[in-house]
Structure formats: C-alpha cells, structure tokens
Amino acid sequence: MLPTRKHLHRKKYFRRQKDPPIELLHQKKSNSSVRVFLFDEFLSKQECDGLIKAHDSHVKALNKPPILCFDSIATLRRHISDVKQNISVTPNDFTKGTKCVNASFSLQLQTWMNSNWSFSTAFYPGESTFSKVISYRIKEAMGLDPASGGKFQITSYPEGKAYKEHTDCTLGGVDKRDRVVSVLMYLSDVEDGGETAFPYLGIWAKPKKGRALVWNNMSPDGVCEEHSKHIASVVKKGSKYILIRWYYYKTFYSLGKRPPPPPLPEREPDQAMVSCDEYNSGSCRWYDEWSYDSLLDYEKNKRTLV
C-alpha cells in the first residue's frame, strides 16, 4: 500500500478521473519543502498505448550501434571494472573536445556492458497535437505554466533496468534556470518493481498506467533540495514506460525548443548516443537526440549558450 495520503482540492477535474489528487506524506522526519502528489487516471489507455508505440518504433528505427559518452574518465573506469575487463583507459580514449569515446571503442563497450541501459526519446512543444493537449491538461490540473516547461521525454526500462539515486536539479547550483518541478506519467503497469522512491522522505509510488506523479525539486527561493533525491527502482518483472516533463524555476530563450545537434563527436546520421552519468548518482541511458552536455566546453560556457 501507499503511505498515509491526504486528499487535496485542485483547479479542475477531467472526465476520466474519478478521484482527486493525493499528497504522499513524508514518512521520515524532515524540514524539506519537497511535496509529492499523485494523480490517477491522468492519461487515458489510448494515450499511453500510442506513446509507447511511437517510442518503440523510433528506438527500433535507430538501429546503428550508439556512441557512448561518460560524465568523466572515473565513471568510464567504474563501468569497465563492473564488467570485469582489465584494460587501462586514458583521456586519449575520448574523442577530442568531447566526453565520448570513438565508434569502435563504443561498440566494444556496448558488448561488454550488454546494452545495460534505459531508452529515451524526446518530442517538443508544438511538434504534435498531443503536446498541446497534455500541456493544457497539466496547466489546468497542477497550475504549471506551459511556457516554463521543457521537452517531453519518453523513457523505457527493460526488465532488470533501473536508475540510481539522483536529483532532477543541480545540488549546489547557483543558476536558477533549473528544474523546479517534475511531472512523471506512467504509461504502463509493471508486474514487479519499477517504483519511484524518495529515500530521504520515506515515500514511494508504484507504476500504474495513466498515473501522474508530481513533485518539486527546489525550494520556494530556488535552491535545489537534497531531499528531492529519488530512485527508479529496478524492474524485476515486465517493462516500464514513463513520460516526463520538467518545469523550470527561471525560463530562458531555448527552453522547450528543439536544439540543433552539436557538431561533435563525428557520427553517422541517425546514430544515437548513450550517456552515462556520474557513477554513484546516475546510470547509463540511450538517447535519440544529441546533447551539448557531451562537449567539454559546454559546461563552462553554459550560461551564455542557453
């Protein structure tokens, strides 16, 4: 069962929803401002099935071996250690100017790691009728301004996959152009596992088709909350699909706009990337679009690029 729940009133209900949203109350003593809300029947079965079909089709179409990118050389070494390969790696193994290894090394790593990652595809506001429909629905139900929202990301977790404890905002960051609210929508039921857990708060939610889970990552004054750390628990049986959209504390020009792909690393057309986050606070994930985070110069110039 879910933890103790508190019913809340909201602006508007939708015909498919039978119950008001509920707040998942902290089960551990905390002064955190993080609040987690659950909306059942937020998406219809038809919407969920359609999104899953589009996601799977797109992943299948991008069938070239991906290029692998790593948060740091330390993260690369940890992954190599995990697969019990006794090889030495240096910064020279990365493509110049990037956090990515070359295509041949990427293929070798993919074999060693047994494609041990989740899969994400993205669509942007205005690219489909659904993007407008769901933006309006979120605004009416949760009071979140569509102009403060970024891209929509569909992620699939095959059996055995998870995502480690992490925040959706940047701890210790000073830039207010950060993810203040996460809206996560489950597109599928999961036979066993796949819960979204908040260990600092002692609460969790089970995947349920059509359910939305909403929480704030930052305090009212725009500070990233450590207690917003959450985990995508391992999928023990079945598979898990989610749709997520992040809303930002402070907006910026490129927010919600599909960016042009970065020039580096060199790659084939329609070749996906796998990005492996800091080893202890993230996991590896396949992406259909290339991120500027893969460029070494991006972080130091980030404030002028967005």
Query: Domain segments of the chain: what residues?
Result: 21-252+268-306
Return d(Cα 144, Cα 123) in angstroms, integer.
Answer: 19
Q: Span 21-252+268-306: which CATH code?
A: 2.60.120.620
Print the SS3 string covering 70-85: ECCHHHHHHHHHHCCC
Pairing of strands 273-276, 67-70: parallel
Helix H or strand E encompassing 216 = strand 212-216
Q: What is the dihedral of CA 178, 129, 257, 241, to 10 degrees?
A: 50
Which pLDDT tens digits describe the chain residue by residue (306 residues)? 223 333 333 444 444 555 789 999 999 999 999 999 999 999 999 999 999 999 999 999 999 999 999 999 999 999 999 998 889 998 889 999 999 999 999 999 999 999 999 999 999 999 999 999 999 999 999 999 999 999 999 999 999 999 999 999 999 999 999 999 999 999 999 999 999 999 999 999 999 999 999 999 999 999 999 999 999 999 999 999 999 999 999 999 999 999 999 999 999 999 999 999 999 988 999 999 999 999 999 866 764 444
Query: 262 burial class (0-12, 13-18, 19+ CB within 10 angstroms)?
Result: middle
Query: 108 burial class (0-12, 13-18, 19+ CB within 10 angstroms)?
Result: middle
Strand partners, 94: 101
- Token pair in block for residue 273: 């990337």
Task: Note the helical H segments in the chain.
Answer: 45-61, 73-82, 103-113, 129-142, 298-305
Residue 125, sorted as left (phi over 0), alpha (psi -120 to 50) or beta, turns out to be: beta
User: Going by C-beta distance under 8 Å and a sequence separation of 6 or more, which residues neighbour residue 52?
Assistant: 154, 156, 187, 188, 241
- Token pair in block for residue 180: 């203040």
Within 10 angstroms of residue 156's Cβ, the number of other Cβ atoms is 21
Cα angle at 8 between 47 and 209, to 5 degrees? 25
Strand partners, 281: none
Distances 209 to 45, 186, 213 between C-alpha atoms, Å: 7, 5, 12
| Model pTM above 0.85 | yes
pLDDT of residue 302: 63
Within 10 angstroms of residue 6's Cβ, the number of other Cβ atoms is 10
Helix H or strand E encompassing 181 = strand 179-186
- Token pair in block for residue 107: 């293929």
Distances 90 to 51, 73, 101, 260, 266 between C-alpha atoms, Å: 41, 7, 11, 30, 20
